[in-house]
Amino acid sequence: MKKFRWQILIILLTGLVVGILLLSEQPEGVTQIVPEPVTGGFYTEALIGSLQRLNPLLDFYNPADRDIDRLLYSRLLSFDERGIPVPDLAASWGISQDGTIYNFEIRPDVKWHDGQPLTAADIVFTIEMLRNGGEIVPEDLQRFWRDVEVVQLSDTLIQFKLPEPFAPFLDYLTFGVVPQHLLGNRTIDQIRDLQFNIEPVGSGPYRFDQLIVEDGQIAGVSLLAFEDYYGKKPFIPQVIFRYFPDAASALQAYQGDRVMGISSISEDVLSTALAERDLAIYTGRKPELGLILFNLKNPEVGFLQKPEVRRALYLGINRQYLVDRILGGQAILADGPIFPGTWAYYDGLPRVNYDPERARQILIDAGYTLPAEGGDVRIGKEGDALQFTMLVPDTARSRALAEAIQQDWAALNVQVTVEYLPYPDLIEQHLTPRDYQAALVDLNFTRSPDPDPYPFWDSVQATGGQNYAQWDHKIASEYLEEARITIDLNERARLYRNFQVIFAEELPALPLFYPVYNYGVDRQVQGVRMGPLLESSDRFATVLEWYLSSRPAAVTPTP
């Protein structure tokens, strides 16, 4: 019997070798048939939300408007999924050696949708509106632009002068440019009420066609490919957006063949959407980070100043359970404060896995043991008990997360009292005045391509800034400060790598997870790709490659 088995094995191995040889002997110049996209058809997407104003000066607080504006308006720069700047209106740019002067050359062939040329004057006008945005433009953005001198050198040349070197400056050049010849000589408050906002004129790959009105209400917006667009022409000539109040109604519209895509598939409908055979689900990391902050300067919880205690607490959290069971798998485990997949991320960081036994041993080695007279809370050599209060946003998701973390830490004999409160109160009444012990929070980096951890972790920001943990690490701060004024991307990556190594050793806060975003598109729409997102409208980063129709094209590979 054993001899027979060996014979079978020899036959199988011989067949495998022969198969490999035959594959390697394929004739040269074999013709492969691949699809070639052709222009045609239309794409309809369900947008969650409603129309307010299709104007990039006015869309800061309405993602549904921003999604459409992404197709209507051009920007000086865009950023790819790794956070690398790529040109849009800008044909090229240069930066002075000291990092304070940025010169941009604008493409000379750009036209507005009404046929007028787009010039540097339109960019200067748009920035002037951002500087004086009243209650419409975020105050921090207005302050930023007031400190930057903008000079129009010619119709196609523009210069920015910064008061000091600031490497993340390119982040601020992703605003949609608006036409001066249609909006000039008005304040932003006057612009807010113009007909322009529902009959917009941009310079992007698609132009406004018409509003879709049903029962006296705006139910959608139709866009058409702009014939004189300066870039690659889209394969899909018409894009239609229809508004829905929630993901459930949007999914019903897809099931009823009213739309071909769903802008956002929330967790409550994800399982149903996944069951749709013809609906492809694209997932991308959101620009958000869930983490636990510690107040490292609060004398009431001095033990939180010890890195070994913070590490034990980290090891004691079953983060995979949080992601799988509470978040429904809709998150990625976080290893640090910089997003993975970006140019600044250091992929050599160690993953901190759930290990309660090791966590207990670390606490014991640090002198925290159970009292001999009995009790459920560990006591240190100086009599300090491992107990503290954690502030948590009063939402269903945050409550579930906090309860699971509380139970994990209780298993380590660490007592945590959870206090729920509205998010604005948590920030304004506790984080800002540093009146807290620990807090479960989300850091949101929407529309911030540059990683720039400085605001949250530099020691200068510990008082009055956003370094709510009050982490004071001299070397880490030096890395952050130098990276902020260094133009060379490779050097910045090195500085951020060093910072991330220190962060992973010290753990001034506990990174938990990065949430993900789900986007649904019918499989008949080809060419769709989606990577990590800086905002929801980034799902359209490859829209010019999408197509509905194709023809076979013969391709002969090079021998």
Q: Please give the domain boundaries of the chain with CATH numbers for all domains.
A: 30-45+207-278+523-559 (3.40.190.10), 74-203 (3.90.76.10), 288-515 (3.10.105.10)
What is the full per-residue pLDDT of the chain (559 aa) written as tens digits?
333 334 333 334 444 443 444 444 445 555 566 789 999 999 999 999 999 999 999 999 999 999 999 999 999 999 998 999 999 999 999 999 999 999 999 999 999 999 999 999 999 999 999 999 999 999 999 999 999 999 999 999 999 999 999 999 999 999 999 999 999 999 999 999 999 999 999 999 999 999 999 999 999 999 999 999 999 999 999 999 999 999 999 999 999 999 999 999 999 999 999 999 999 999 999 999 999 999 999 999 999 999 999 999 999 999 999 999 999 999 999 999 999 999 999 999 989 999 999 999 999 999 999 998 888 999 999 999 999 999 999 999 999 999 999 999 999 999 999 999 999 999 999 999 999 999 999 999 988 999 999 999 999 999 989 999 999 999 999 999 999 999 999 999 999 999 999 999 999 999 999 999 999 999 999 999 999 999 999 999 999 999 999 888 755 555 5
Burial of 247 (0-12, 13-18, 19+ CB in 10 A): buried
d(CA 493, CA 484): 11
Gap between the Cα atoms of 476 and 464, Å rounded: 19
Q: What is d(CA 20, CA 38) in angstroms, rounded to the nearest whole number?
A: 37
- Residue 373 confidence (pLDDT): 85
Distances (CA, A) of 327 to 335, 442, 554: 18, 14, 46
Give the pLDDT score at 4.
36
pLDDT, residue 27, reads: 52
Measured distance CA(411)–CA(420) in Å, rounded: 22
What integer pLDDT is reported at residue 551 of this predicted model? 86
- Predicted local distance difference test score (pLDDT) of residue 35: 82
Q: What is the pLDDT of residue 21?
A: 42
Integer Rg of the chain from CA: 28
Per-residue pLDDT, 8: 37
Burial of 340 (0-12, 13-18, 19+ CB in 10 A): middle
Number of neighbouring beta carbons within 10 Å of residue 25:
7
Give the pLDDT of residue 12.
40
What is the structure's pLDDT at 552?
A: 81
Alpha helices in 185-316 (DSSP H): 188-191, 247-255, 267-274, 307-315
